[in-house]
A and B are shown apart, each in its own frame.
Chain A
Amino acid sequence: MSKQAVNSNSKINSGPTGRGYIGTMAAMSSYDDESYLDFIEGLRMFALRSMNPSSARALKEEINAGKIKSENPSIAETRAVADPIPVIGIRNRMLHSTQGLNWGRIVDSYDQNREALEQELTDAEKDGPGTLRWDPNFEYPSYFTAIPYHRQPGSYHADPLGGHIYHYGTKVFHGGSNDKDESKIERIGMLPEPKDGVMNKFLDIACAIGSGTVAAKLRWPKAEVYGIELAGPLVRYAHMRATRLNSEVHFSQQLAEKLDFADNTFDLIYMSTLLHEMPLDEGREAVREAHRVLRPGGILVINDMVQATVPLNIWSDYDRYFDHRFNNEPYAYNYVHSDLDSFLNKQFASVENLVQGKTSTWTCTK
C-alpha cells in the first residue's frame, strides 16, 4: 500500500511521497530517511563550522613553522604538508562521507516513490502560469556528461529525478538555509537594476531548479522572467516547482554558451555558480553569449567562487582543490586560477567585484 493511500484523508497536501513537503521540496519517503538526512546535515555543518577553522589553523601552524616556504606554493607543495595533518584528514573524511551518504539516502528514499515523482513532472509540463521547453533527445556536451557533478548519482541529466534529488541534496548541503527559497530571495533582492530604471526582461542562466528564477518573479512581478538550464531533469523540475508555486516563469533547456535569444534582449541577467562548473573556453563563451543577449545599459551579475589571490590564501587553495579532487568539480580549480576579472573587463563597459568570504559578485554593465 502506498503511503499516499495512508494519508488520503488528510487536508494537507501529502505530495508524491505521501509525506507532504518540507519548504518547497517533497519530504523523504519515510521518517527514518528524513532523520538520517537531518543527522547528515548536522554532521556536514559541524565539518564546515568547526572542523574547517581547526584545519585552517593547523595548516597555518605548519606554515609558520616553515614547512611551506613560498607565498604562492603549488598545490602539490601544499598537499605534501596538509594531507598528513590529522585534523585535516578527519575533516576530509567527514566531508566526503557526508556527501556520499547524503546522495545515497536521498536516491534510495525517492526511489520508493519514483513512479509518482516522475508522474508529477509529466503532469506539470503543459501547466502554467509559466512555460517549459525541453528536448528529451537533447545532445549534451561531453564536458558535461564526463562526470556526475558533485557526485550526484546519475548527475543532473541521466536520472529523470535529477531535479528532485538535487533539491533535497542542496538542502543538506546548505544546512536547510534555503528550504523556503529564503536565501535565494535575499540574494535576488540584492541585485542592482539598470541605471535607466528599465526592467522588463530578466534571464537566469543555469537556473538549476529555478529557485532564483522564481525569486526574480517575486521581485519584478511585471517583468518577463526566463530561466535556462542545460540538464533536462532540472529544468523539468524547475517548471513543475514554479507551477506549484503559481509563478509565471518561462523555462527552457539551453546551453549557456549557445543561447537561442535575440541580441540585446534582456535588462538584467543572473549567472550563479556556473562558471566554475565549465571548462575555461566554454565558460568564456557563456559570458560572451550573456553579453550578446544583454541590451546596452543592461547588467550581468555573476555569482561564483572567488579568484585566487596573490599572495595565495593557502588554506582556501587546498580546500578548493579538495572539491576538485573528491567532489567531482573538475573545472573548478582551473577556474579560480583563471583571472576572470581581466576577461570581464575586456567584455563590459564597467565591472565591479564584491568579495564576500568564498564568493565573488561581479556586476558587469554593457
Chain B
Amino acid sequence: MSDRAKEPLGKFAPENINDHLLHVIFELAAELWVVKRRLAEIEESAIQSGAITSPDAKIRDESFAFDNSGRDAFVERIFGSLKDIGSKLDTQ
C-alpha cells in the first residue's frame, strides 16, 4: 500500500471547507493557464526553428490506439482515494 493510500483523508478538513477549496481551484486554473501560454510560446519558437514538429501536425491513421494503461494509472493515482470514502465522512 502506498503512502498516498494510507493518508487519513476526511479526518481533518470540515465540510464547510468547500468555499475555500473553490478559491484554490480558481487560483490553480489561473496558474495552469500561465503554464499553457508559456508552453505554446516555446512550442511555436521550436517549430519555427525546425527543432520539433507540432503534435497537432501528427496525422492519425485508423489503426491508432491510445495508451489507456498509462492514462488509467494516472487517473487512479489522483482520484483513487475517492472510492474509499464509503458511506460516511469521518471528520473526528
Instruction: Mark A residues whose CB is within 8 Å of B.
Output: 3, 6-7, 10, 12-14, 18-24, 27, 30-32, 38-39, 41-43, 45-46, 50-51, 53-54, 57-59, 61-62, 85-87, 90, 94, 175-176, 179-180
Known contacts A19-B58, A90-B82: does B87 contact A45 (CB below 8 Å)?
no
A38–B72 CA distance with the chains assembled, in angstroms: 10
Q: Say if the beta carbon of B51 comes within 8 Å of chain A.
A: no
Beta-carbon contact of A21 and B83 below 8 Å: no
16 of the cross-chain contacts (CB-CB < 8 Å) are A7-B57, A12-B59, A14-B59, A20-B60, A20-B61, A20-B62, A22-B64, A27-B64, A43-B79, A45-B72, A50-B76, A57-B86, A58-B87, A59-B87, A94-B82, A176-B66
B82: chain A residues at CB < 8 Å are 51, 87, 90, 94
Interface residues in B63-92 (C-beta closer than 8 Å to A): 64-66, 68, 71-72, 74-76, 79-80, 82-89
CB distance from A35 to the nearest CB of B (A): 9
Which residues on A sit within 8 Å (CB–CB) of B75?
Answer: 39, 42-43, 45-46
Cβ of B60 and Cβ of A86 under 8 Å apart?
no
- Known contacts A42-B72, A42-B75, A45-B72: A24-B62 contact under CB 8 Å: yes
Q: CB-CB < 8 A to A54: which residues of B? A: 83-86
| Residue contact B68 to A6, C-beta cutoff 8 Å | no
Query: Across the interface, which residues of B come within 8 angstroms of A14, CB to CB?
Result: 59
B-chain residues with CB within 8 Å of residue A42 when the two chains form the complex: 68, 71-72, 74-75
The secondary structure that dominates the A interface is helix
- Determine whether the beta carbon of B86 is less than 8 Å from that of A12: no
Q: How far is the CB of A42 from chain B (nearest CB, A)?
A: 4
Q: Which of B57, B60, B72, B80 contacts A21 (CB 8 A)?
A: B60
Q: How far is the CA of A20 from the CA of B79 in the complex (A)?
A: 32
CB-based contact B64/A176 at 8 Å = no
B48 to chain A, nearest CB (A): 14
**Complex CA–CA separation, A326 to B62 (angstroms):** 34
- Tell me if A39 and B59 are in contact (CB < 8 A): no
Q: In the assembled complex, how far is the CB of residue A5 from the closest CB belonging to chain B, in whole angstroms?
A: 11
Contact B86 A21 (CB under 8 A): no
Task: Tell me the B38-60 residues at the A interface (CB within 8 Å).
Answer: 54-60
Task: Give the complex CA separation of A18 and B65 in angstroms.
Answer: 18
Smallest Cβ distance from B39 to chain A, in angstroms? 10
Q: In the complex, what residue of chain A is closest to B89 when comparing beta carbons?
A: A86
A87 touches B85 (CB 8 A): yes
- B57–A6 contact, CB under 8 A? yes
Question: Contact between A19 and B56 (Cβ–Cβ < 8 Å)?
Answer: yes
Min CB gap B2→A, angstroms: 16
Which A residues are in CB contact (< 8 Å) with B66? 38, 41, 176
Q: Hey, which chain B residues are within 8 Å of A12, CB to CB?
A: 59-61
A86 and B71 in contact, given A20-B60, A43-B79 (Cβ under 8 angstroms): no
